[in-house]
Amino acid sequence: MKVLAAMSGGVDSAVAAARAVDAGHDVVGVHLALSRMPGTLRTGSRGCCTIEDSSDAWRACEKLGIPFYVWDFSERFKADVVDDFISEYAAGRTPNPCMRCNEKIKFEALLDKAISLGFDAVATGHYAKIIDGPGGRELHRAATWTKDQSYVLGVLTAEQLAHCYFPLGDTPSKDLVRAEAAERGLSVAQKPDSHDICFIPDGDTRGWLAEQIEMESGPIVGPDGEQLGEHDGAQAYTVGQRRGLKLGRPAADGKPRFVLEIRPKENTVVAGPRELLAVDDITGIRLSWAGAPVAEEATGEWFGIDLQIRAHADPVPARARVQKDHTEHDDARLVVELEEPLQGVAPGQTAVMYQGTRVLGQATIDTARSRHYQPA
């Protein structure tokens, strides 16, 4: 099999490429250049697309004896990830840029180019498994829960899964991957894991957004409309946030307040007690299936799921159904009723559906409703 190995410059992608070589595949390594000005991206191995990362990827390919290329996806990355991130925050939503990068860059732009060049599959260092099920290929959680990355892959479609290759899916721990890298003589064996958002140089999301979005000060109000304080830009807040409110006076009960809602059109932030963050019902848009959809997708009937709304959050039991709207822009919505309330759910986040270890699909959260508090 002809395999294109996506080389981030980290230990996981290096070992994944090495295993693809050991399996007898014809492997070519590629690093994605995601900025025309790489110096503006994070250095010190805190991101995943820096100048140092490109050099580390090249050294890994040289050690493995495979060809290495750098592909310039900077324009696509800016349009589909960075600009999307800005527009979502401007609209009062909380996006996941890594999710969008997987969807639009690594498993759309990269995969499309790989297939057009005659590659059979793209290999990455993600911790997830692909299993051949009765309805076709299925995406499943990795063998180790602590490193499972199936959540951020929930945007993959059946067509994309047919060309994905995850060599690390059955590996019990990251320590074993690092040990294997050291045995192979790969210089990235002890390289720190990447964290944070790669296109925000200092990790200060709020400060970075202030340079991208025109922000104005406005009121912070309670659920009853009483003004509690003032903010310096509603778009830089997110639902569930506690720090940075700077209200100056405590609540009557002495308990902390949290962001309950962002109203960008009114330039208003709503804050209140933690219990009002508890969400009971969710609706999602941009629904996609990671493999064959469930049978109930066609009938609109309820089906049982476990729902996960963050990469490292615990899944919660729920039931879901697909509502066909037959409108011009959105022909299907995901409706979810949670068996137990979920804290701090923000519009713009990604809701990934599971049944057991299998990823069913995902949707972008459009509304999150509480029986005790209804956003405007």
Place of tokens 């720190």: 192
Are the CB atoms for 15 and 54 separated by under 8 Å?
no
* Identity of the residue numbered 268: T
- Tell me, yes or no, if 198 is annotated catalytic: yes
E strands present in the chain: 2-6, 26-33, 68-72, 121-123, 128-133, 136-141, 164-165, 218-221, 227-231, 258-263, 268-272, 278-289, 303-308, 316-323, 333-343, 350-355, 358-369
Cα 154 to its chain centre, rounded Å, is 9
* Identity of the residue numbered 286: R
Of the candidates 329, 81, 50, 72, which has an alpha carbon nearest to the alpha carbon of residue 201? 50
HSE toward the beta carbon, residue 189, CA cutoff 13 A: 12
- Tell me, yes or no, if 101 is annotated catalytic: yes
Backbone phi, psi, residue 18, to 5°: -60, -40
State the angle between helix axes of 11-22 and 51-64 in degrees (0 to 180), rounded to the nearest 10.
20
Q: Give the C-alpha separation, 140 to 127, whole Å.
A: 10
Are the CB atoms for 28 and 4 separated by under 8 Å?
yes
For residue 247, what are the CA distances in angstroms to 152, 217, 260, 365? 35, 14, 14, 28
- Selecting among 48, 49, 61, 101, the annotated active-site residue is 101
Token couple for 237: 């807040």
Give the 3-state secondary structure of residue 211. Answer: helix
Beta strand 316-323 pairing with 333-343:
antiparallel
Identify the bridge partners of residue 130 per DSSP, sorted by sequence position.
139
- Selecting among 49, 61, 164, 198, the annotated active-site residue is 198
Q: Give the C-alpha separation, 348 to 352, whole Å.
A: 13
Using the Cα atoms of residue 19, residue 197, residue 257 and residue 236 in order, give the sign of their dihedral. negative
Active site residues: 101, 198
